[in-house]
Amino acid sequence: MRYLLTIRYIGTAYHGWQVQENALAIQPIIQDALQEMFPHRPGVTGCSRTDSGVHANMYCCHFDSPLERDPFGIICSVNRNLPNDIAATHCRVVDEEFHARYSVTAKEYVYRIYNGVHRDPFAHQLAYHYRFPLHHEAMHQAAQHFVGTYDFSSFCANNAKPGDRTRQVFAASVERDGDYVVFRVSANGFLYNMVRIMVGTLLRVSEGKFTPDQIPEIIAARCRDRAGPTAPPQGLYLNQVFYEEV
Amino acid sequence: MRYLLTIRYIGTAYHGWQVQENALAIQPIIQDALQEMFPHRPGVTGCSRTDSGVHANMYCCHFDSPLERDPFGIICSVNRNLPNDIAATHCRVVDEEFHARYSVTAKEYVYRIYNGVHRDPFAHQLAYHYRFPLHHEAMHQAAQHFVGTYDFSSFCANNAKPGDRTRQVFAASVERDGDYVVFRVSANGFLYNMVRIMVGTLLRVSEGKFTPDQIPEIIAARCRDRAGPTAPPQGLYLNQVFYEEV
């Protein structure tokens, strides 16, 4: 049977989800933590790759096992065996057709900018510290131009794999919450570094280097060099993963 | 001249504010961090002792120096020299009469309980994980009985120094915020472990071991054994410090 396991993690200590040589990744840690209940150590398939230092409020993965186990018991067992910066939050049995990556219909990312003048210890590695005043209304206005179906090549890292770069962005917003400015974006899929390049571009808008109305031409150029820089990883959170009914 | 310096810190790594033998404390770290601008290494006086593992959203201290320095520059210099889990947020020159501890008119503490069933990596060491359903309305009702001027001996650690244990509690509340239950209390002063014993007692109310209406008799008993246990330190935050106009 196939199990869907949902986890949360602070990504600071990890080189993303995927097993890599000579780098600590989250995937093998989940596999190890499952061994108490699934001694055959099933392989785990994640919903997406994530970058070094990126966090997840919700990350989904699936694994197969002939063993029938109580989902609540799986969560408890996995949590006993995970380090403090990773935890399982949900588990359920899914159809064999379900796939943690290919069944995704939408994902939502959040990017947290700590916009205080001085350092905040509680924001360390959990937000990007940008100390100059942010014009969040202009950033929000600019973000509205991301909504729609476009070739987002301008918002894709140059070293990404080739392929179709058309994605549908469902919603995008920038809101201030005290000393924090939060960018929220949902889409049917994301290109490599897409959210971080969007944030780098919105920061350029705040700085007056782009106007909000220039976003459509930056998208239309389909050229990475036209967009802003890639914002650092520590502000980024995979926030929600949506699946078709399974 | 006398400077008032406001800091924030994650207390996990520290044995509280005060210098202690063979234990890492926050006070000497602040003194070291001031040395770049104040090479005479002034002694720093804090607004209160804090326990091991307790955090501060706002903690105030003062120091004296013959040197006249720009407060903004002091913050920047101190932050360059502090570890990531401590940061300076405000600084100003105050009257020589001002005292970080004796001029306090009120303090507010917050106690954060993470009330999800499973672990949350983002709450690790930053909240107390209590996994059973909390009756926050009953806890709030009970907390109202703390408001007033009472001898709070029942809410004071047995090993505290002798002295007058009358304190005036100005406000107390328990609110739910998603998976968190937050206790907030302000008073003209706090006894040793007072907030943590209040929280331990409110948890007993949630568990049905005390009714909210029993709080007045627990206070009146002036006996530590009548109150609930001392809640663990990681949920506690010194949140605000109030001073008379200086």
Q: What is the CATH number of the domain that holds A41?
A: 3.30.70.580
What three-state secondary structure class fits A30?
Answer: helix
Q: Tell me if B99 is assigned to some domain.
A: no
Residues 165-194 (A) with a CB less than 8 A from some CB of B: none
Identify the pLDDT of residue B55.
Answer: 98
Listed in order, strand segments (DSSP E) in chain A are: 2-9, 45-46, 55-64, 86-94, 104-114, 128-129, 148-151, 166-177, 180-187, 236-243
Element (H, E) at A138: helix A136-143
Give A-chain residues touching B9 at CB under 8 angstroms: 121
DSSP string of B32-87, one letter each residue: HHHTTT-TT----EESS---TT-EEEEEEEEEE-S----HHHHHHHHHHHS-TTEE
Identify the pLDDT of residue A160.
Answer: 86
Residues A118, A194: one domain?
Answer: yes
Domain that holds residue B72: 2-94
The single residue listed with the structure tokens 């889409």 is A187
Nearest CA in chain B to A116: B89
CA B78 vs CA B8, B19, B186: distances in Å: 12, 19, 29
Element (H, E) at A218: helix A215-221
Mind telling me how many Å the CA of A98 is from chain B's nearest CA? 25
CA dist B116 and B158 (Å) reads 32
B168 has pLDDT over 80: yes
A128-164 confidence digits (pLDDT tens)? 999 999 999 999 999 999 999 999 999 999 888 889 9
Residues B226, B126: one domain?
Answer: yes
B110 has pLDDT over 80: yes
What is the ipTM for the molecules in this complex?
A: 0.91
Q: Tell me if A101 is assigned to some domain.
A: no
> Is-catalytic flag, A51?
yes
What average pLDDT does the segment B81-102 reach? 97
The rounded Cα A64 to chain-centroid distance in angstroms is 24
CA dist A73 and B213 (Å) reads 38
What three-state secondary structure class fits A231?
Answer: coil
A87-143 confidence digits (pLDDT tens)? 999 999 999 999 999 999 999 999 999 999 999 999 999 999 999 999 999 999 999
Q: Tell me if B100 is assigned to some domain.
A: no
Interface probe with A: pick from B119, B124, B125, B234, most Cβ of A within 10 Å? B119
Identify the pLDDT of residue A19.
Answer: 82
Give B-chain residues touching A116 at CB under 8 angstroms: 89
A193-229 confidence digits (pLDDT tens)? 999 999 999 999 999 999 999 999 999 999 999 999 9
Give A-chain residues touching B76 at CB under 8 angstroms: 118
CA A138 vs CA A41, A143, A180, A235: distances in Å: 50, 9, 16, 20
B134 contacts chain A (CB < 8 A):
no
- Given B94, B116, B140, the domain boundary residue is B94
What average pLDDT does the segment B182-199 reach? 97
Q: What is the CATH number of the domain that holds A112?
A: 3.30.70.660
Residues A65, A115: one domain?
Answer: no
Beta carbons within 10 angstroms of residue B18's beta carbon: 14
pTM over 0.90: yes
Residues A8, A74: one domain?
Answer: yes
What average pLDDT does the segment B142-165 reach? 95
The domain total for chain A is 2
Identify the pLDDT of residue B246.
Answer: 55
Identify the pLDDT of residue A21.
Answer: 80
- Given A66, A94, A122, the domain boundary residue is A94
Confidence bin at A20 (pLDDT 50/70/90): confident
